[in-house]
Structure 1
C-alpha cells in the first residue's frame, strides 16, 4: 500500500510528511556512520530504500513511535487525537521509505502511577479511598469487572483504539517495571542520580526541591507509591533507602517493580529503555519535554523526534478542561458527526489553536466530504497532500456522499424530520435508485443530521418576518419557482433563479439575500446552496414553505 510513493513523499507539504522526513533523518543519524548515511541517502532518494536496508542492517530495526495514556480515567479526545496524528506520521514515514523500514506504534499506559484523585462519578468511592496512593494496577476495580482499576481502564483504552481500527501495540508500565524491561536503565538512573537531580531541581519550587527524588518507592508495608526523599543510595547493590510511612528506614531495590520514577524522569526512562524514536505532545508540555530530553541523554539514550501540537479551545477561546467540562467532548462529537469528520478536524493545522464546540461539526463534516470528492480527481502528488489520504492511511473510500451534511440539516429542519426515514423520502426521489444499502455513508450522515438538528438547531430556531425589500424579493422568487416544472430537480437551474431574484432586488452583498432566505424560511442564519435544497425538498414543498412563512 505504501510502496512506490517515496518520490512523492520527499516533496509532500502535508505536516505528517514533514514529520516523517524529520524522523527518517533522525533514524539515519543515530544508526549509521557519516559515510554510511551518505550512501543510504543516495539510495533512498533514488527509490531504493529496500536496497539501503539490505546494505545497512541497522535500518532493519523497527522505528518505534509512541503515544501515552494515563489510566486514571477513560480514553478521551486527547487520546484519540494523539494516536490518530501519530498514526498519520507513521503512514507518511512508511510511504517515504517505500515501507522498507519496519515501524511499530506503541500505546503506553502509565498504569504504575499511584491513585491521587477519585472522580466523583465513579462507584464504590469508599473502596477507592482505601486504595488511595496505590498503583492503579493494584487499586481495586470499582466496577468489579477486572482485577484492578488500571486493568479496567486499560481494557477500555484497547477497546477504544480497536473500535477506530488503529494498528498499535499496547504496553503497560506495570509490566515493564515488574517484568524487568526497565531494570537496566533504572540501574543507570541510580548511578546517575545527581545528573537527573541537576536537571530537575531548578524546575521545582524551594519546598519541593528539599524533598524531591526521581525515585518513588512503593512501600512494602502499605503498597502505596511514596513521594519521599532518597536518604541513601547504594549503586553497588542497586538499592535506595527511604523513610516508610511508619517512620522506619527501609531499603528496596530500584529494579523489579519496587519503585517507579517521577513522571518526567519516567518519560526519559521509557524513551531510553524502549528505544522510542518518535512521540508528540501538547504545547503545555514543552518544558517537560525539554527536561525529559536532558534526562534521556543523561541515561545514555537519544531523545525521540516529535513536535508540540496546540491545544483545543472552547467557544469563548478558553483552554478546554476536563474539570470545567467546557468545550466539546469526544462522545458529543461522535453523536453528531462521523469519526472521519473528527479525524479531519484533528488533521488540520495541528500547530494552531482551534475552537472545539458543536458549531464546528457540520463544517468539518462537509469539508471532509469535499476533500474526499476532490481526491478522486487529483493527481498522485496532490492526493498524498489531501487530508483524506492521511485520515484513511493511504486508502480513502472511492465514493463519498452526493449530498452535503449542511444540506441534510436543512432538509431535516424544513421537514422537522424525527428520523432519517423521512429524509430518504426526499433523497430517493432526488437520486434515482438510491437507498441506505446503496449509499451507506449518506445513510449514516442522515442519522447524524437528525441528531444534530434535534439537539443543536431545533431548540435555537429563530424565525423572523421579512422586511419590505426581502418580502418583495421572496415573492418574486416564488413566482419564478412556480413557473418552473413542478418536478424540476435541476439544482443549478433553480439556483440561477435564486441569484436573479436577489440581484434584481439589489441585494449587495448577495450573501445578505441568502441569509434572509434562511432566517425567514428555516429559522437559521446560514445553510447550503438554496437551489440544491429546493431540488431535493421538491418545488411544491418549497413553495408551500414560502407561502407559510411569507403569509405569517
Structure 2
C-alpha cells in the first residue's frame, strides 16, 4: 500500500502485505505475473471465485505500488471430461464424450463452440461484473499448438527425478513403467485406459485398451499429449514466469500439489516456485448444500450478485484474511451484512466515528472494493437506503421499485445514488421473493379484514382515526406518532399487547411486523385510514 494511504505509513491490508512480500522475495522489478485458473468441468461456482478475487486484490496492491501486473487465468480445458454434472441438459449425449478432452465436448446449450467454452465465457462475464479483468489462457490451444512441447520433453527426460519427488509423498510408489504424460488415443480420443506408454527418440508410443488401438505420437507435432496436473503446474510456472499464485488448503498441505510442484519446478525446469498464499474455503449460508460443479449443486457469482451489490461482493471478501473460511449469507443475516457494509462506508467518509486503525482499515477495504481498477472512491458518500427499511418500502408498494423510489426522491443526488438505489432495490426484492424468512415478509391488505375488536379496542381505533385525520401533518417523526399512540392506549386503559397485534392484523393480517409507528407513517394516512374499521 502506498505510504500516504494511512497514517501509520505502511501496509495495513493482507493484500498489501502480500504485494510487499512478492517484491521482497522475487526482487524489485517493473512488472509481475500473477496466476490463477480452473478446470471448466462444470459451471464455475462461487467457491472458486475466492482464488480469482484473491489474485485480483494482490494485483491491485502491486499496481498501487506502481508496478505493472499481468493477471493470467488458465483454463485447463484440455483436462479429461470425467463426470457429467447433474444440472446439465442432454445427459445421455454428454456421456458419449466421457474421458475425452473437455474442449472436444459439445455445448449442451448450443450457445458456444464447446462445453468448455460455455463454462469459460460465463465465468469471464461474471467476474467482469465485480471489477475483475483477467488474461485468459486456454490450455487446449496451448497444448495443441505445441507451445509446451519443450516442457513435455523435459518432463519425459527427467522421468526418474519427477517419480522420486512424487513417491516421497505417496503411500505406494508409482509403477515402474509410469510416465509423466497422458495421451489421448488417436482413434477414440480418450485417455482413461491408456497403457504401456514409452518414450524413445522423441516418440511416445502407447496402447489404448478402450478401443484396442496402438499408436505413436511424434513429440514435435503431436497435439494429443499433455502433462498430468502435478507436472503441468510447475511447467507452466516456468513457461509463464509466474511470480505469485495462491492455492486452496487442499493444495497447501505437506505433500500436496504445491509442495511437489515447488520441487519439480526447481529440479526439472530450473525455475523457482512463485510466492504462494493459502486461501480457505467460502460457503453460502441459507441456500443449502455444499457447492460442487460435478454434482450440479452450485451457487455462481451471478447468483450472489442477485443478493449483493457488486462492490459489496468485493467488500465481503476483502474483509476477511485469505486464510480464514467464512460464509456468505443468503438468509436473514443478509440484512446484517448490508448494515455492516453501510457502517463501514460511514467510517470511510467520516460520518461515523472510529479509532484510527479501524478507520484506516475500513478505507483500504473500501478502496479495493471499488469496481474501477485504480481503487478511487467516490468524492461523496453514496446514498444509503437501509436494506431493512427498503424491504418494507418495497412491500408496502407491492414490489413496485419506481413507486418505492418516491420515498427516497429527496435523498438521491447523482448517478451513483441512482445506481445504489436501483441495485439495492432489485436485490432486496429478489431476496424477499426467494430467501427472506416468512416472518419478514408481508403484504398490505387490500381491504379491511374481518376482525372483532372489543369495546375498548374499538374506542382506541376511533381515537386513532381522529388523531391521524387531525394531526397527521404535524407529526414529524416516528417517535412523535409512537408517543401519541401510547397516550391513546393509556386513555382507554389498554396495553401494547392489546393493540399491536390488532393493528398488524388490520394492516397485514399478521400478529407482528415492522415497528408500528414508522410502519403507519410509511404506509401513509389515506391507506391506513381506509383499512381501519
Q: Normalising by the residue count of structure 1, what TM-score does the alignment of the two structures yield?
A: 0.73
Instruction: Give the counterpart of 2:407 among 419, 426, 433.
Output: 426
Q: CA deviation at 1:64?
A: 0.7
Aligned to 1:347: 318
C-alpha distance in structure 2 between counterparts of 1:326 and 1:156, whole Å: 17
C-alpha distance in structure 1 between counterparts of 2:519 and 2:39, whole Å: 46
C-alpha distance in structure 1 between counterparts of 2:526 and 2:129, whole Å: 41
Aligned to 2:208: 244
C-alpha distance in structure 2 between counterparts of 1:233 and 1:518, whole Å: 83
- Match status 1:289 vs 2:258: yes
Distance 1:294 1:461, change over 3 A: same
Please give the secondary structure, in 1, of the residue aligned with 2:266.
Answer: helix
Are the aligned partners of 2:397 and 2:403 in contact in 1 as well (CA < 8 Å)? no
C-alpha distance in structure 2 between counterparts of 1:197 and 1:455, whole Å: 52
Aligned to 1:468: none
Distance 1:229 1:179, change over 3 A: same
Are the aligned partners of 2:246 and 2:277 in contact in 1 as well (CA < 8 Å)? yes
Are the aligned partners of 1:492 and 1:532 in contact in 2 as well (CA < 8 Å)? yes
For 1:215-234, list aligned pairs within 5 A: 215-226=181-192, 228=194, 231-234=197-200
C-alpha distance in structure 2 between counterparts of 1:284 and 1:410, whole Å: 43
For 1:134-533, list aligned pairs within 5 A: 134-204=100-170, 206=172, 212-226=178-192, 228=194, 231-234=197-200, 237-245=201-209, 246=212, 248=214, 250-253=216-219, 256-286=222-252, 287-299=256-268, 300-315=270-285, 319-322=290-293, 329-349=300-320, 350-359=322-331, 360-377=333-350, 382=360, 385-392=363-370, 393=373, 394-397=375-378, 398-413=380-395, 415=396, 417-428=398-409, 431=410, 439-457=418-436, 459-461=438-440, 486-487=472-473
C-alpha distance in structure 2 between counterparts of 1:163 and 1:314, whole Å: 20
**What's the RMSD between the two structures over aligned residues?**
4.4
Where do 5+ consecutive residues of structure 1 fail to align?
29-52, 54-58, 464-470, 502-514
Greater helix content: 1
Cα deviations by residue, 1:52-78 (Å, 9 ceiling, x for unpaired): x7xxxxx23x20111102122233313
Aligned to 1:25: 24
Distance 1:334 1:199, change over 3 A: same
Cα deviations by residue, 1:128-160 (Å, 9 ceiling, x for unpaired): 333322222223333334333223333333333
Instruction: Give the counterpart of 2:69 among 72, 97, 103.
Output: 103
Bigger relative contact order, structure 1 or 2, given CA contacts below 8 A and separation 6+? 2
Distance 1:93 1:435, change over 3 A: closer
Are the aligned partners of 1:314 and 1:327 in contact in 2 as well (CA < 8 Å)? no
Aligned to 1:89: 58
C-alpha distance in structure 1 between counterparts of 2:112 and 2:181, whole Å: 29
Are the aligned partners of 2:51 and 2:279 in contact in 1 as well (CA < 8 Å)? no
Q: CA deviation at 1:111?
A: 0.9
Q: Normalising by the residue count of structure 2, what TM-score does the alignment of the two structures yield?
A: 0.76
C-alpha distance in structure 1 between counterparts of 2:475 and 2:59, whole Å: 45
